[in-house]
Amino acid sequence: MSRKAADIINDQVKKKPNSVLGLATGGTMMGAYAALVDDYKQNGTSYQQIKTVNLDEYIGLEPEHPNSYHYYINGHFFNRVDIPKDQTYLPNGLAKDIEAECQHYESLIEQIGGMDLQLLGIGQNGHIGFNEPGTSFESTTHIVELASLMRQANSCFFNRLEKVPTHAITMGIATIMKSKKILLLVSGKKKAHIIAQLFTGKVTTQIPASILNTHPNVIVIADQEALSLLS
C-alpha cells in the first residue's frame, strides 16, 4: 500500500520536478514516507525543486517537540531526502498572532501555486486534517479547538492530559479541495466503517471526507481491512 502511494508521488515528482506536494502526518503515512526515502536512496529521485505544505500543526508546540508535526515530517521525510528546508512549509503554531498566521498560510499556498498532489489520511469520524464533523466545506486555513476525546486519545504521547495542546491550525476543507489531485490513504479495521460510509457517495458535513466525492481527481489506496465493510 505504501509502495503504491510512493509510486504515485514519485511519478508526480518526475513528471513535474517543481511540484507542490501537500503532506499529512499520522501513522498511516509513515510507510509511504519510508518508501519515498528508499526510492530516494536507490534511484536518487530528487526533491531539489519540490515545495511542500503540511496540512496542520498543533498550537504551542516547539518544532523540536517530539509530538509536533514539524518533528514528525522532518524525521520521517525532510531530513532523509534532498529537499531544501526553505521550500518546506508548515503552519507556525508558535506565531504571536495565530489568526494572521492562518491567513498568511492560506495566501502562501496560493502564491506557490496550490498543491499539485495532496496526501490525506482520514480519522475514524471522517476528519481530514483537523477538520472535524460539522466543519464548513467553505473553510480555509483556521484554528480548531481539539475535541476532548481526541485530547484524551493523544494524552499517552504527552504523559499528562494537561500537556496535550488544546488548539491546532489546519488547512480548511476548501483549501484541501483546491488541490489538483488528492491521494487518500486508509489502513486498518478501525477505518472500515468510515470508508463504507464514504463510498455511499453521500456528501455531508457530518463526514468531512465525504466532500472528496465531488473532487474530480481523487485516488484512494486502502488495505483489505479498511475495505472489509464495502458491499
Contacts with ligand F6R by CB under 6 A lie at 24-28, 55-56, 121-123, 127-129
Catalytic residue, from 125, 154, 215, 223: name it: 125
Rounded to whole angstroms, the Cα distance separating 203 from 218 reads 15
Nearest to ligand F6R of 40, 72 (CB atom): 72
Residue nearest to ligand F6R (CB): 121
Nearest to ligand F6R of 93, 129 (CB atom): 129
Rounded to whole angstroms, the Cα distance separating 36 from 7 reads 8
Instruction: Name the residue type at position 4.
Output: K
Q: How far is CA 138 from CA 135, 141, 172, 193, 195, in A?
A: 8, 10, 8, 26, 23
> Known catalytic residue: 132?
yes
> Known catalytic residue: 125?
yes
Least separation in angstroms between CB 119 and ligand F6R: 9
> Known catalytic residue: 56?
yes
Least separation in angstroms between CB 72 and ligand F6R: 8
Catalytic residue, from 39, 56, 57, 116: name it: 56
Nearest to ligand F6R of 26, 63 (CB atom): 26
Nearest to ligand F6R of 129, 165 (CB atom): 129
Relative orientation angle of helices 2-15 and 27-43, to the nearest 10 degrees: 50
Backbone angles phi, psi at 120, to 5 degrees: -135, 140
> Known catalytic residue: 76?
no
CB 52 within 8 A of CB 21: yes
Bridge-based pairing of strands 142-145 and 56-58 is unpaired
Least separation in angstroms between CB 168 and ligand F6R: 9
Q: Could you give the residue numbers annotated as active site?
A: 56, 125, 127, 132
